[in-house]
Amino acid sequence: MTKYQLVATSAMGLESIVAEEVKSLGYETKVENGKVYFEGDETAIARCNLWLRVADRVKIVVAQFPANTFDQLFESTKKIEWERFLPVDAAFPVSGKSVKSKLFSVPDCQAIVKKAIVERMKSHYKRLGFLDESGATYKIEVSILKDLATITIDTSGAGLHKRGYRQTQGEAPLKETLAAALVKISRWSPNRPFVDLFCGSGTIPLEAAMIGQNIAPGYNREFISEDWSWFKSKIWDDARDEAESLANYDQELEIIGSDIDHRMISIAEANAIEAGFGDLIKFKQMQATDFTTRLTDGVIVSNPPYGERIGEKEIIERVIKDLGTVMKNYPTWSVYMLSSMENFEEHYGKKATKKRKLFNGFIRTDLYQFWGQKSKREE
Ligand SMILES: C[S@@+](CC[C@H](N)C(=O)[O-])C[C@H]1O[C@@H](n2cnc3c(N)ncnc32)[C@H](O)[C@@H]1O
C-alpha cells in the first residue's frame, strides 16, 4: 500500500498527548506546533481517524515547498501529481492560511492553488471545458508559514471532536478532544472511581467512559475519506472490526457526573444514552460542595465556571474555597480542575502539585492538579 506523509493536527499544548496516541497505534512521530507528523498507509488513515481522541483532524501532506511568489506557488502546485488523489469528478474546495509570509493574501493563495490544480487535472484527464466537480469532496488546504507552503488534503471531514453522541449541549461545553486530554493527563485507570462535579452536558464523564472501555471515539461516525474512490471500503471495515474487537464493554466503571443545574443533568443523560452509556454513567443534580464518598483513590476532573459573568465571580470563588475544604476529607483522591480563574490555588486553599497551561478555545486556562496522597500513578 502507498505510504503517505500524514499529519494529526491538535490544539496548542496537546501535541505531546496526540503524539502519544499516534505512537500507541504504532507510528513514529515528529512533533511541531499544533502538528504531529507521521508516515502511514490507508490503514493508518482509517485507524487514526477512528482512534485519536485528542487530535482535531488527520490530513495527508501532499507537498511542502518554498512559496515566495505567486508564480512559485502556482508552478509547484501544478507539478504535484494530483491525479493520484483526485478523480476527474472530484470536488476540491481550497481553504488557506498564511502566517509571517510574503504571500499574505489568503484568498489570492487559494485562487492560485485552485487554478493550478484545475490546469493539472484538465491536462491529465484531457478535458477542454470545465471540471464539473460532481463527485466526492477532497478538502484541500494551502497553509503558508514563513514562506514555506504546505498543501494538505483532509481525511477526516468534520473535526474529530464530533463523536456523534452530542444531542444537545450546555452553555459552555468542553470540546470532546480537550475533555479526553484532561482524562488522559489525570492518568485515571478504569479500576478507580471517576467524578466530574461540574459536568454540564457530560463531556468529561463520557470521554472517561470511552477511555475506560477502550471504545474508539470515531466508531459511530463517518469520515470524508470513506467516500473517496481509491480508498477501499474494506480498509474501513477492517479498522472498524479491529475497534469492535478491542472494545471492552464488560469493563465495570464507577463514573459519576454531577451539576447544580438539573437541566444540565437531563442533557448529560441524553448524551450518555446516545453514546450507549445510559446505564453506565450515573448523573445527579448536586451542589459540588456536597460531594461525599466512601470510596478511595478516586479522580475528580472538572471544568468549573470561570466566573467571567457579572456577579458570578464571588459565588464561584466561594464554591472553590468550600470544595478545597471538603476535599481535605478525601486525601487519597486526586483533583484536576481546568480554570482561567486568577488565584485558583489561593481560593482552593492548596498549592497545586502541578499546573499545565491549556487553551479552552481561545481562553487561556490552567489545569490545576492536586495529586492524591496514596496514588502514585499520576504523572
Ligand atoms: C463550564 S460548565 C461545564 C461544562 C462541561 N464540562 C461540558 O462539557 O458541558 C460549568 C458547569 O458548572 C455548573 N455549576 C456551577 N456552579 C456549580 C456548583 N456550585 N456546583 C455544581 N455545579 C455547578 C454549571 O451549571 C455548569 O454546567
Backbone angles phi, psi at 23, to 5 degrees: -65, -40
The pLDDT tens digits of the residues spanning 323-337 come to: 999 999 999 999 999
* Alpha carbon of 199 to ligand 1 centroid (Å): 6
Mean pLDDT of 128-148: 95
186, 255, 264, 326: which to mutate for ligand 1, most atoms within 8 A of CB? 264
Contact (Cβ atoms closer than 8 angstroms) between residue 10 and residue 55:
yes
pLDDT for res 165: 86
* Alpha carbon of 228 to ligand 1 centroid (Å): 41
Over the chain, what is the mean pLDDT?
A: 95
The pLDDT tens digits of the residues spanning 146-191 come to: 999 999 999 999 999 999 888 776 677 899 999 999 999 999 999 9
pLDDT for res 170: 64
* C-beta neighbour count of 229 within 10 angstroms: 11
* C-beta neighbour count of 117 within 10 angstroms: 23
CA separation for the pair 55, 18 (Å, rounded): 6
Architecture of the domain whose range is 4-154:
2-Layer Sandwich (3.30)
- Taking 60 as the threshold, does the pLDDT of residue 137 lie above it? yes
Domain borders along the chain are: 4-154, 176-215+240-370
Contact (Cβ atoms closer than 8 angstroms) between residue 120 and residue 80:
yes
Position 295 confidence tier, pLDDT thresholds 50, 70, 90: very high
Mean pLDDT of 233-242: 98
Position 378 confidence tier, pLDDT thresholds 50, 70, 90: very low
- Taking 60 as the threshold, does the pLDDT of residue 377 lie above it? no
- Taking 80 as the threshold, does the pLDDT of residue 310 lie above it? no
Identify the residue with better confidence: 70 or 312.
70
Grid cell at residue 169: 449541549
Listed as own residue / partner, the contacts of 286-292 with beta carbons closer than 8 Å and 24 or more positions apart are 286/197, 286/258, 286/259, 286/260, 287/260, 288/197, 288/198, 288/258, 288/260, 288/319, 288/323, 289/319, 289/322, 289/323, 289/326, 291/195, 291/197, 291/258, 291/323, 291/326, 291/327
* Alpha carbon of 171 to ligand 1 centroid (Å): 9
In this structure, the residue with its CA closest to atom 13 of ligand 1 is: 198
- pTM flag (> 0.85): yes
The pLDDT tens digits of the residues spanning 59-91 come to: 999 999 999 999 999 999 999 999 999 999 999
Architecture of the domain whose range is 176-215+240-370:
3-Layer(aba) Sandwich (3.40)
